Chain A
């Protein structure tokens, strides 16, 4: 992993045999100190690949592709391919990589811990936006167990806010005592945030997204619901343990992230 000044310091010879996997093009360019020289160095690399973990086709996504770096490919890490959405905004070759388990997460518990040991019925996680606020209200309006925990994070960029609500392991510690991890849509565009699933499941909390637009697209990911009553119905009918097993099967069946990345990079 290199910062942009470190990359800038590398020789053109070294770069000429290197494939660059760029995570944040805007930040890299901004932090480089000398934009034209930095972009020139980036151009001298063998290949430039954008690593994306977000909704394809969004303004944010398009902006990253047009920051000044000419990409040879996009690797989209997630749980469902977005090639159709990508093709509407870019001609850059697109590769979907299943955001599967990493070595750090193994061994993953195939069987959930006892539900009695999980005294927090649910955790609402995500950004402090109107959708998540609305979701919290809906949970109460539909009479879910009121003893849930709400960990909505304020905007991190504003100087006037306290930044993130929790420390690095705070959310994981709460999730390790919770049955379900709930969240709503982060943005206007239908998208499944695989990183929230990855936070929740290894901690033993079943990931559940309530997002009518995404549910309408039937993404083939377990735990996506149109409404709060749909979520409640599944909890009632299947229960925590069965929902956990189903999520775990989905996660492990997609293969390890490292394998997926290797395959994709060979194709680039």
Chain B
């Protein structure tokens, strides 16, 4: 992208609060947009950006294409400077950056990314996390072949360089009405998610990712578990996880009682579905097909 184009986009964001100038209505199908939302995560951006570039290379090797979209949510830590430097250094890289003047918050940022994305499928990569680059083609293949709305895989927890746990490692079932175990770090079909209203930006519900999975299930959209590693979830002091933990409780499954009550009011009114072990998600691998 030329300097003029960058300026035009930045100007558009700064000047037009509706942001609609940035929307890309016609999505390409043969690739993926990797989206990194950033708010004051400058120290972690090199790692997530690097993994995204590697993943784009892997997509290209597998016959797909890809882009990296980073939207900075009005950071104050100089993230913008870092991102401009990356853009200058990697002129050929498929990197789109948007710098917001006003903080929108994560759900609105995710919705903006889905509206802006060049590709129909968007990988939600938090700024402090890292993609398992080799595996993104596997997830893209899976979501394309099945027409699922969301494909998730295993995330390996990393603390101080050591792997300490696994998350997002189970297929969607109605247990999700009792607690969330599918992280936002997933590949989504932007068209489908936008069609059903996108991520919910409701201050009463800080778990927009949890609400989205339940919403997809309620809308009878397919939630796909691909039993491979999608990426690494870094648990570092001050990282997005730590913030999330502070705001939302240690893990989403230990969400505040009022949040649980609200989600149950929305998706489990009878109060029995959390005990319903019926799967609503599917398990898929491109080499095998549906496994369940």
Contact = CB atoms under 8 A, between A and B. Distances in A.
A160 B135 contact: no
Interface stretch (B71-79, B92-100, B116-124, B165-173): B165-173
Contacts of B260: none
Contacts of A173: 288-289, 291
Interface in A159-175: 159-163, 165-167, 170, 173-174
Contacts of A136: 154, 156, 163, 166, 229
A140 B229 contact: yes
A160 B291 CA distance: 22
Given A133-B166, A137-B156, A162-B279, A149 B132 contact: no
Contacts of A170: 283, 291-292
Contact of A119 (B169, B283, B287): B287
A147 interface: yes
A229 interface: no
B292 A167 contact: yes
Given A140-B156, A141-B163, A162-B279, A147 B138 contact: yes
Interface in B155-197: 156, 162-166, 169-171, 173, 175, 178
Interface of A: 119-120, 128, 133, 136-138, 140-141, 145-152, 154, 159-163, 165-167, 170, 173-174, 177
B175 A162 contact: yes
Most A CB contacts (10 A, CB to CB) among B163, B175, B287 go to: B287
A145 B166 CA distance: 18
A148 B228 contact: yes
B178 A166 contact: no
20 contacts: A119-B287, A120-B285, A120-B288, A137-B162, A138-B163, A140-B156, A147-B138, A149-B228, A150-B166, A150-B169, A152-B169, A159-B275, A162-B171, A163-B277, A165-B227, A165-B292, A166-B283, A166-B292, A170-B291, A173-B291
A160 B178 contact: yes
Interface of B: 132, 134-135, 138, 154, 156, 162-166, 169-171, 173, 175, 178, 227-229, 275, 277, 279, 283, 285, 287-289, 291-292
A154 B283 CA distance: 15
A161 B228 contact: no
B291 A166 contact: yes
Contacts of A159: 275, 277
A240 B165 CA distance: 29
B292 A120 contact: no
A159 B278 CA distance: 11
Given A159-B275, A174-B285, A146 B132 contact: yes
Given A159-B275, A162-B171, A165-B171, A177 B288 contact: yes
A146 B154 CA distance: 12
A227 B275 CA distance: 39
A147 B169 contact: no
Given A162-B171, A162-B279, 16 more contacts: A119-B287, A133-B165, A133-B166, A136-B166, A137-B164, A140-B156, A150-B166, A152-B169, A161-B277, A162-B175, A165-B171, A166-B292, A167-B291, A167-B292, A170-B283, A173-B291
